[in-house]
Amino acid sequence: MLTLNRLSHPLRGEISVPGDKSISHRSIMFSALANGSSEITGFLEGADCLATIDCFQKLGVQIDHSYRPVNGVPTITVHGKGLHGLTAPNAPLYTGNSGTTTRLIAGVLAAQPFSCDLTGDTSIETRPMKRIIKPLTAMGGDITSVMENDCCPLHINGQKLHGIVYHDPVASAQVKSCILLAGLYASGDTVVYEPALSRNHTEIMLRAYGADIHNSIDVSGGAAAILHPGTPLQGLRINVPGDISSAAYFIAAALMVPDSEVLIHNVGINKTRAGILCVLKQMGADITVLNEDNSFEPRADLLVRYSHLHGGANGKFEIVGKTIPTLIDELPVIAVLAATADCETIIRDAAELKVKESNRITAICENLRKMGCDIEPTDDGMVIHGGNPLHGAEIDTHLDHRIAMSFAVASMVAEGSTRIKDEKCVDISYPGFFRDLQNLTKLN
């Protein structure tokens, strides 16, 4: 258990956060399915992304890990085997705590000329997989939930697939990506419709690898991803931008702690992921975007200064609808920020929080209540009555990395001591988080 105390001085300095988790996963997967070798820098060496490497190594892909001699930057080289070069593993594929690995790789495995078992840790074994089993089955796939509960372990008996037009009731990048990866192998086009555009890293990156894929958005905001199969993928060089989900904790800390000013370098600002920037600016946050680069995946430096957050003229602020998919992973730390804001914050349409690494609606509400926040859970979100002073408490992370990091940030403005249980769960996405947080909070 880690004990943290209220910060008595502002945060000042510069920081670079680890590579984007979503892009890191996909860089390994797409490189493995490409012809030729790919070189990846900026890769996130967290437990989830390492699970993706392990799975593809077991599928016969050579993946080398080295460090550049001058600056020590880690470099991953993936020797792609093409779409049809994977080989049957001699044991079940274990994805650890990674929902992204589990759901995306299932789309690849559904089309292979062999059978495979797919499983993960106890959290993965409770997370819903029917959302991918249903469309993959519609494509001709043969996927069985071994425990007959629509969760992992999954037995996947590879089949010849055909394209489908699939209407996903929830905007989910994992489901969309699973279907599109299966579509690479299918006869005929694959089209995925969503009620709103979820993060589009898969489409951007597959296009860079040479796939014939594009997005369209209708007048109501609904989105479609359209894949025309038949074009082989080609290896390339990728520099992964910093993860905005990891940057979010330092953005929040700088906004909350008086007189703080923090510069965060090389952060991915893809519009399907950067909803937190739009929402916080609407609440009065002082965030300046610098050195923007829109080649490949958009990225920029972010200068964040302490700000007094507030709602509208009615004293309320709503985070709802099509904004939710653009900041779903940042909602825990946004809730912490809302607890300190001078307004009532209403979060709706976020039922997806219930099926993350933990039930994040429950975890957020129970822990913020412990710290003195007036917060009410709802079926698809929460209502946060901000402005009450926070105090230290014992935080149950539920082994969820985003809960642990969000409440570490909350501790900086809470009276007394805050104790974080199972703090090592941050290794899933940000192994150096507490070190970086400590370095940024040192007196300059």
Residue 334's Cβ-side half-sphere holds a number of Cα atoms within 13 Å equal to 33
pLDDT at 69: 56
Residues 320, 15: Cα–Cα separation, whole Å: 31
- Euclidean distance between the first and final Cα of the chain, in Å? 28
pLDDT at 402: 97
Residue by residue, DSSP assigns 310-375 as B--TTSEEEE-GGGGGGTGGGHHHHHHHHHHSBSEEEE-S-GGGGGSSS-HHHHHHHHHHHTT-EE
Question: Which 3 state secondary structure label does DSSP give 124?
Answer: helix
Residues 253, 12: Cα–Cα separation, whole Å: 11
pLDDT at 28: 98
Residues 244, 267: Cα–Cα separation, whole Å: 6
pLDDT at 176: 98
CA-nearest of 193, 202, 152, 190 to 171 is: 193
pLDDT at 220: 84
CA-nearest of 283, 204, 237 to 22 is: 204
CA-nearest of 237, 191, 238, 241 to 212 is: 191
| Catalytic pick among 329, 396, 400, 436 | 329
Cα 128 to the center of its chain, rounded Å: 17
How do strand 115-119 and strand 93-94 relate by DSSP bridges?
parallel
Bridge partner residues of 384 (DSSP): 345, 375
Query: What DSSP designation does 416 have?
Result: S
Which residue reads 């007959």 in tokens?
Answer: 148
- Cα separations (Å) of 154 from 58, 86, 130, 150, 231? 17, 19, 11, 8, 29
Written as tens digits, the pLDDT of the chain (444 aa) is 999 999 999 999 999 999 999 999 999 999 999 999 999 999 999 999 999 999 999 999 999 988 765 556 779 999 999 999 999 999 999 999 999 999 999 999 999 999 999 999 999 999 999 999 999 999 999 999 999 999 999 999 999 999 999 999 999 999 999 999 999 999 999 999 999 999 999 999 999 999 999 999 988 889 999 999 999 999 999 999 999 999 999 999 999 999 999 999 999 999 999 999 999 999 999 999 999 999 889 999 999 999 999 998 899 999 999 999 999 999 999 999 999 999 999 999 999 999 888 999 999 999 999 999 999 999 999 999 999 999 999 999 999 999 999 999 999 999 999 999 999 999 999 999 999 999 998 755
For the chain, domains (ranges, CATH) are 2-17+242-441 (3.65.10.10), 21-230 (3.65.10.10)
Q: Which contacts of 371-376 are long-range, i.e. CB under 8 A and separated by 24 or more positions?
A: 371/339, 371/407, 371/410, 371/414, 371/418, 373/339, 375/335, 375/339
Q: Is 64 marked active-site? A: no
Global pTM reads 0.93
Tokens of 435: 């070190």
